[in-house]
Amino acid sequence: MNCLQVNKYLSKINSKFLEKMKISVFLVCFLPQTNMENRPHTTVILAMSADGKIADFNRSPARFGSLNDKLHLEKQIASADAVLFGANTLRAYGTTMIISESILLQQRTKVNNHPQPVHIVISPSANLNPDIKFFQQPVRRWLLTTSVGASAWEKSSAFDQILVFETPTGEIDILAVVKYLASVQINRLAILGGGELVASFLELDLIDEIWLTICPLILGGNNAPSPVGRKGFLSALTPKLQLLEVSTVEQEVFLHYGIIHQSEVNLKSQIV
Ligand SMILES: NC(=O)c1ccc[n+]([C@@H]2O[C@H](COP(=O)([O-])OP(=O)(O)OC[C@H]3O[C@@H](n4cnc5c(N)ncnc54)[C@H](OP(=O)(O)O)[C@@H]3O)[C@@H](O)[C@H]2O)c1
């Protein structure tokens, strides 16, 4: 029995029990991940201060972007099938960003899209306050968690889906996650932060584009988060970017980068 067959078999025997709880458990198979086309196109969208911080040292919600920046973010969200954000981002805001511009809503319904993309929060602990406004917002909510995290929400209807993709060490298996998202027709994924989530995707070379809005303020602070958190990269091994476009609207600069994927770097070095 290969990995796919094992997954199918497990999902059959589990389905009745899990269906009740709207939990999908996936056995993670450690096949080498060679086909990176088998995942959604991913775009990170963040606003940052002129000194490269995405929030203040209290990790307060970042509300320093202008209305132009809000519209820019809405446009990016409107072109996505799903948005993904880290638990700390949800904890900071208590809400998620929904599309409210009527033209964007019309464009989505015209092509038979749901008015709002799926909103996915990643949280192994699933330690989220059920009273936050997020749970009343008119969106489809998915929780990406561990089996331990899932158990806290199994009796609740707060999430439309609870997805568990675990490695044998109990961590969330991001490669399995993106593969699954592609399999359920999530072809465009918008990553809305924060820095920890972005770092984990960058480490796996899973990001295709980055939008950064530079806003006219300085936040400073050694502990204020930046667009890419975690340990960071050594300069020799850093992900490389290609500047695709730059525009200035009033006091803000909108930077749009493409990521040069490791496979492209390898190909170039072979040609040279
Ligand atoms: N300026 C902007 O555009 C912008 C946008 C978004 C957020 N922010 C700011 O950024 C701050 C939050 O960023 P952050 O870096 O602290 O956190 P984050 O990435 O939002 O969330 C981190 C948490 O998400 C979960 N998580 C993220 N990536 C994971 C992965 N690969 N595997 C497993 N779990 C993962 C973990 O949840 P558990 O806690 O459950 O373990 C982790 O503790 C807030 O202050 C917010 O205001 C700014």
Full 3-state SS string of 68-124: HHHHHHHHHHHCCCEEEEEHHHHHHHCCCCCCCCHHHHHHHHHCCCCCCCEEEEECC
Q: 6 C-alpha to center of ligand 1: Å? A: 33
Average pLDDT over residues 10-16: 40
Would the CB of 88 count as within 6 Å of ligand 1?
yes
In whole numbers, what is the pLDDT of the chain averaged over residues?
A: 88
Report pLDDT for 6. 34
Residues 14, 231: Cα–Cα separation, whole Å = 38
Q: 168 C-alpha to center of ligand 1: Å? A: 23
**pLDDT tens for residues 76-122?**
999 999 999 999 999 999 999 999 999 999 999 999 999 999 999 99
Report pLDDT for 268. 62
Cβ(29)–Cβ(165) below 8 Å: no
Would the CB of 188 count as within 6 Å of ligand 1?
no
Would the CB of 70 count as within 6 Å of ligand 1?
no
* Tokens 């994924």 belong to residue: 189
Q: 10 C-alpha to center of ligand 1: Å? A: 31
Using 50, 70 and 90 to split pLDDT, how confident is the model at 262? confident
SS (H, E, C) 153-206: CCCCCCCCEEEEEECCCCCECHHHHHHHHHHCCCCEEEECCCHHHHHHHHHCCC
The answer, yes or no, to whether the previous bond of 194 is cis (omega within 30 of 0) is yes
Residues 15, 256: Cα–Cα separation, whole Å = 43
SS (H, E, C) 46-63: EEEECCCCCCCCCCCCCC
Q: Select the more confidently predicted residue: 15 or 256.
A: 256
Report pLDDT for 33. 39
For atom 31 of ligand 1, which residue has the closest CA? Answer: 200
Q: Which of 43, 64, 88, 128 to mutate to test the pocket of ligand 1 (most atoms within 8 A of CB)?
A: 88
Residue 255, class by beta-carbon neighbours within 10 Å (0-12 exposed, 13-18 middle, 19+ buried)? middle
For residue 66, the SS3 value is coil
For atom 1 of ligand 1, which residue has the closest CA? Answer: 54
Would the CB of 96 count as within 6 Å of ligand 1?
no
Q: Which of 28, 57, 89 to mutate to test the pocket of ligand 1 (most atoms within 8 A of CB)?
A: 89
Say whether pLDDT at 129 is over 70.
yes
For atom 29 of ligand 1, which residue has the closest CA? Answer: 197
Say whether pLDDT at 213 is over 70.
yes
Report pLDDT for 264. 75
Q: 17 C-alpha to center of ligand 1: Å? A: 31
Report pLDDT for 8. 38
Report pLDDT for 36. 55
Using 50, 70 and 90 to split pLDDT, how confident is the model at 142? very high
Q: 89 C-alpha to center of ligand 1: Å? A: 5
Residues 257, 240: Cα–Cα separation, whole Å = 10
**pLDDT tens for residues 164-210?**
999 999 999 999 999 999 999 999 999 999 999 999 999 999 999 99
Closest C-alpha to 122, from 82, 85, 150, 153: 85
Report pLDDT for 180. 98
**pLDDT tens for residues 199-208?**
999 999 999 9
Report pLDDT for 271. 61
Q: 194 C-alpha to center of ligand 1: Å? A: 4
Sheet-wide strand order for 41-49:
23-26, 161-165, 141-145, 118-122, 82-86, 188-191, 41-49, 209-215, 252-260, 240-249
pTM: 0.88
**pLDDT tens for residues 56-83?**
999 999 999 999 999 999 999 999 999 9
Q: Residues of the chain with pLDDT > 90: what percent?
A: 82
